[in-house]
Amino acid sequence: QVQLVESGGGLVQAGGSLNLSCAASGIIFSVDGMGWYRGKQRESVATITRDGRSYYVDSVKGRFTISRDNTRNTMYLQMNSLKPDDSAVYYCKASVRSYDTTRNLDYWGQGTQVLVSS
């Protein structure tokens, strides 16, 4: 009984910024690893552990910043200096531990579209 709701996508000119958010809701014990993925191939863009360790694909290093607020089970992706090649549908993923299981399950958001014009 977990949902991930994404928001923050849109149309922006090259060099502009967007801030994506992904909020997990439902019956949740804890949200562990989270990440942002894009495109049909679900390229890993940025991931973050529960304690805040972050990892980025080389193409976005220095431009994107992933963060999370564990009190709200919410993850963010601040995207600066956007390029047309960044255009894609961005999906969030979260590893969620529920009360009724000892396993973590992965959940995906519905995707939010980012369009960067040149």
pLDDT by residue, tens only, the chain of 118 residues: 799 999 999 999 999 999 999 999 998 999 999 999 999 999 999 999 999 999 999 999 999 999 999 999 999 999 999 999 999 999 999 999 988 778 899 999 999 999 999 9
Candidates 94, 112, 92; CA nearest to 18 is 112
Three-state secondary structure call for residue 12? strand
Tell me, what amino acid is at 69? D
